Structure 1
Amino acid sequence: IVGAVLEYRQYAKLKSTYAEGLLKAMDPDGRIRTRFQMTVTATGRLSSTEPNLQNIPTRTDLGSEIRRMFIPAEGCVLVDADYSQIELRLLAHISGDEAMRAAFTTGADIHTATAAQVFHVAPGDVTHEMRRRAKAVNFGIVYGISAFSLSQDIGVTMAEAKAYMEAYFATFPGVRKYMDDVVAKAKEQGYVETLFHRRRELPEIRSSNFNMRSFGERVALNMPIQGTAADIMKLAMVAVEKRLKKELPEAKLVLQVHDELIVECPEDQAAAAAKLLEEEMEQVAHLSVPLTAEAHWGRNWLEAKG
């Protein structure tokens, strides 16, 4: 019965939170408008509320179908552009790790490249499962994940997870050095900064309580990366808005969801809007690895995700 109960809960959540909840949030003109909060998240990301449009499900096929319900005005399309692995690119830039920089500079798939190194196989021999585990390690490292949490995420023993992490650090020694240095510096200064010098105070990192101190260390690892990604996205939003007003005044920036921007524009302007989005998002910051964005368009949000 457990499977049936879990399935029921998934359907009930989609129905109440998204299908019915979004209908209730609709304005008289048929549009749904969210509120963006600037000062809610500690990392500096924008927070969407009433309704939360950053929380539309994407992990299941059925949940993704909710995005099909979001459509533009008559005669228009939605253009969706998102950054490719911005946090890992920032990790490569900030840590200065040569192997990671090389993977991004040559255009290699970072998760496949990591899997090849960690599992000691040629990139062409990397299996789907190897890539999945390497991806979990890549993103886990950014968030200061423990071997125990990684083992839970990818369904392996704690010893295996620890071995993956050790192999990862052997492959990317610059990342290990960055992690050690940023925590030490945070303990010394009592704060961490983004690349744009936006600061987060970290009194927790000097706490005598182990759990509080561990939390502070995880924040010290993550905030410079996720915070810088948030800064870059806000700069990109400003740059895109300015250029749209100048070149495509009928196009409107209508939504921001984490690493993606969504523009509504007349259908015959879709290619121009997509090009504009990619150019502005890629040029807004200059890193030691390419900052790449990819845009697609469609008659609804799901189609526009490409």
Structure 2
Amino acid sequence: ELEFKSLLDKFVKKPQQQQKTVNLQLDLFAENTTEDAVGSEFSSYEGSKTAPCEYQLVETEEDALKIYEKFSSSKILVLETKTTSTNAIDAKLVGLNFAIEEGKVVQVAIPNEREKAERIVNIFKPLYESSEILKVGQNIKYDMEVLMNYGVRLAAPMFDTMLAHYVLQPEQKHNTETIAETLHQYNVLKPRLKETGVEDLFYNIEMPLVPVLAEMEMTGVRLDTDALAETSKVLTERMHQIEQNIYGLAGHEFNIASPKQVGEVLFGEMKIVEKPKKTKTGQYVTSEEVLQQLRSKAPIVDHILEHRGLKKLLGTYVDALPKLINPRTGHIHTTFNQAVTATGRLSSSNPNLQNIPVRGEDGKEIRKCFIPEPGQLFFSADYSQIELRVMAHLSGDKNMIEAFREGYDIHAATAARIYKEDINSVSRDQRTKAKRANFGIIYGITVFGLAERLDISRDEAKQLIEGYFNTFPGVHAYMEKAKQLAREHGYAETFFHRRRYLPDITSGNATVRNFAERNAINAPIQGSAADIIKIAMVRIYERFQREGIRSKMILQVHDELNFSVLPEEKERVEKIVIEEMQNAYPLHVPLVADSGWGENWLEAH
């Protein structure tokens, strides 16, 4: 009650690992760093470990039928599946948990034998598939997928306490420990959704997205393992060649994977800078950030960065992906995490497809290995510069709105205005600088940061940023207003009232405060873009169902949706996807989705 959480942890919870240091770099997929099971306003010191709970074990079909009869007249049913695996694709049921009142849990044992197991599950199938009963669960997508394996389609209405807590407290963890606590949370969370103004976000965006993601995860995606093996061979050979180049420049062999040895070679032996950064223990700092800044100092730095990139690509994707293929389905089944990022964006894991490099030939080689179902086509559609379009909408800047409405190349249009050139006379270098400014401004880039990224002087970077704000005065006004609103309310929010709480916005520490201010500017932009693509996904899924489309949405990565499409449905799928993406939300500028077809992800994107 008094928020003595660390003291509470000593007596009630297991000792937690020390929290990760907060990274002050704005992160596209910023993950929660706190370990709270529930937020302070929902928590009680009489938690799941101490609250009294009555369990009833049901082991026969006869008793299961009695429980079904008892529950069938209930308007709210809390449910949980007990399984053999955290991986829903392969999980086998060992129990079904239910509750219709606090503190009383019914545990239905599921036998090992598949036929008997299905008989028990089928007793409760009408409850799961009823549109009259509200199903309450914690991470209900997992239960939905497990039940799909037993021929049950969990039907709306549903209430996921994890997602309710996520929209209320996006910065915190959303795990819980027992079914009894789920019903306690539902009773507390439901009224809070209304009080906080996030009912629309929860009921019309997050909850309808659950079955969409469940089907995508269960469908999975095919991989061309032969192409991956060839890619592995090519990249490994190239990595060995780079190793030899590095050894030649260093004058001897060393362990390139060792930061310590890399530091000794670059700074101890080659002395590429006079005063290299050191850690508290005296070791040279050779992080990605530091080496990027030193690329112009010596050719060996570029080679080391390229070697690291290839090693990561091979370890994370090229050599790892084939091992993730499910032997039963022949597909990889990534998990889409709906309650992980503080911004509202989806993330994915096992494998994390959000981090496949977009630029460069190597990332393309990996995309080439993602293929549609046999005899089908790969279709990809992605939003064109959605965050800049959201910025134009939020800022109301006339020049930016005009550029988008006229269908100009926004980066060329920006360069033309900054450099006072005709749009057709803009050089490639000018466009590149304007593009970096366009995206950098969204993430609160500083003069120093822009100078470093473009490899230009600070004076030129300062002039570029000043020129940008003179060109788009509405953007500057939006940024100042966003910071002011965050200071007044303690949070920033999206079109749909998704909040990003920013307690550090009034911090006396300038570094911490500036980071919060950058989030105040960026969270409404990035979060609104995330909400828009979620709306598009839900509408596409629902139209596919209504119109009997058998093609499947299989991947979501950033602002891009990917599909495996039956050739006879090609035109209908393209029409539905583009319509729903472009009409997901009315902005002051057009929402544009680009699309393509191919035999694999690379060809289509």
For the aligned pair, the TM-score class normalised by the smaller chain equals over 0.9
Q: 5 Å matches for 1:264-275? A: 264-275=564-575
CA distance in 2, matches of 1:38, 1:6: 33
| 1:204–1:212 Cα contact (<8 Å) kept | yes
Q: Which runs of 5+ in 1 are unaligned?
A: none
Deviation digits for residues 61-114 of structure 1 (CA, Å, limit 9, x no counterpart): 122111010111111111110001000001000000000000001101110000
Task: Name which of structure 1's ranges 5-14 and 244-253 shifts more when overlaid on structure 2.
Answer: 5-14
Pair 1:249-2:549 in alignment? yes
Deviation at 1:248, TM superposition (A): 4.5
- The answer to whether structure 1 residue 116 and structure 2 residue 405 are counterparts is no
Larger displacement relative to structure 2 (215-224 or 5-14): 5-14
> What's 1:285 paired with?
585
Question: Using a 3 Å threshold, how does the CA distance of structure 1 residues 248 and 84 change in structure 2: closer, same or farther?
Answer: farther
How big is each residue's C-alpha offset from its partner over 1:185-229, in whole Å with a ceiling of 9 and x where there is no partner?
Answer: 111111111011111211010111111101110000000000000
- The CA deviation at 1:14 is 2.3
Selected match of 1:182 from 482, 485, 488 = 482
| Cα separation, 2, equivalents of 1:183 and 1:278 | 35
What's the CA shift string for 1:226-247, capped at 9, x where partnerless? Answer: 0000010111110010011122
Contact 2:549 2:569 (C-alpha < 8 Å) held by counterparts: no
Q: SS state of the match for residue 261, structure 1?
A: strand
Question: Secondary structure of the residue that 1:121 maps to in structure 2?
Answer: coil
Percent identity over paired residues: 50
Secondary structure at the residue paired with 1:244? helix
| Residues in 1 aligned to 2:310 and 2:525: alpha-carbon distance in whole angstroms | 35
**What does 1:141-156 correspond to in 2, within 5 Å?**
141-156=441-456
CA contact (8 A) 1:97 1:174 kept: yes
What is the match of residue 12 of structure 1?
Answer: 311
Deviations 1:157-184 (A, max 9, x none): 1111111000000011111111111101
- Report the TM-score when normalising by structure 1: 0.97
Structure 1 residue 65 and structure 2 residue 365: aligned? yes
Match of 1:22 among 305, 318, 321: 321
1:271, distance to aligned residue in structure 2 (A): 2.6
Change (3 A) 1:188 1:273: same
Answer yes or no: is the 8 Å Cα contact 1:277–1:295 preserved in 2.
no
Check if 1:55 corresponds to 2:359: no
Where does residue 260 of structure 2 map in the other structure?
Answer: none
1:216 & 1:248 partners in 2: Cα distance?
47
Of residues 434, 440, 444, the one that matches 1:140 is: 440
Which of the two has greater helix per residue? 1
Instruction: Please tell me whether residue 206 in structure 1 is matched to residue 512 in structure 2.
Output: no
Larger deviation: 14-23 or 125-134?
A: 14-23
Say yes or no: does 1:129 pair with 2:429. Answer: yes
Mean alpha-carbon deviation: is it higher for 6-15 or for 40-49? 6-15
Map 1:30-41 onto structure 2 (within 5 A).
Answer: 30-41=330-341
On the 8 A contact 1:270/1:297 being kept in 2, the answer is: no
CA contact (8 A) 2:405 2:590 kept: yes
Partners in 2 of 1:30 and 1:58 — Cα distance?
26
Instruction: Measure how far apart 1:38 and its partner are.
Output: 1.1
Closer, same or farther in 2 for the Cα pair 1:168/1:26, shift >3 Å? same
Q: What is the Cα deviation at residue 16 of structure 1?
A: 1.6
Number of residue pairs the alignment of both structures matches: 305
Q: What is the alpha-carbon distance in structure 1 between the residues aligned to residue 419 and residue 555 of structure 2?
A: 40
TM superposition score normalised by structure 2: 0.50
Task: Note the alpha carbon deviations across 1:258-305, whole angstroms, 9 max, x for none.
Answer: 101111111232232122111000111001110111221111000110
Look up the SS of the partner of 1:286 in the other structure.
coil
3-state SS, counterpart of residue 364 of structure 2: helix
| C-alpha distance after superposition, 1:14-66 (max 9, x if no partner) | 22211111111111122111111111111100010111011122211122111
Higher Cα Rg, which structure? 2
Q: Secondary structure at the match of 2:368?
A: helix
CA contact (8 A) 1:248 1:273 kept: no
- Determine if contact 1:274/1:296 at 8 Å carries over to the other structure: no
Q: 1:212 to 1:252 in 2, by over 3 A?
A: same
Matches of 1:178 and 1:6, distance apart in 2: 38
Higher RCO structure, 1 or 2 (CA under 8 Å, sep 6+)? 1
1:78-117 to structure 2, matched below 5 A, reads 78-117=378-417
RMSD between aligned alpha carbons? Answer: 1.1
Provide the residue aligned with 2:215 in structure 1: none
Q: Is 2:258 the counterpart of 1:258?
A: no
Distance 1:142 1:271 in 2: 36
Question: What letter matches 1:206 in structure 2?
Answer: T
Gaps of 5+ in 2: 1-245, 247-299
Q: Which amino acid aligns with 2:590?
A: P
Q: Distance in 2 between matches of 1:289 and 1:253?
A: 27
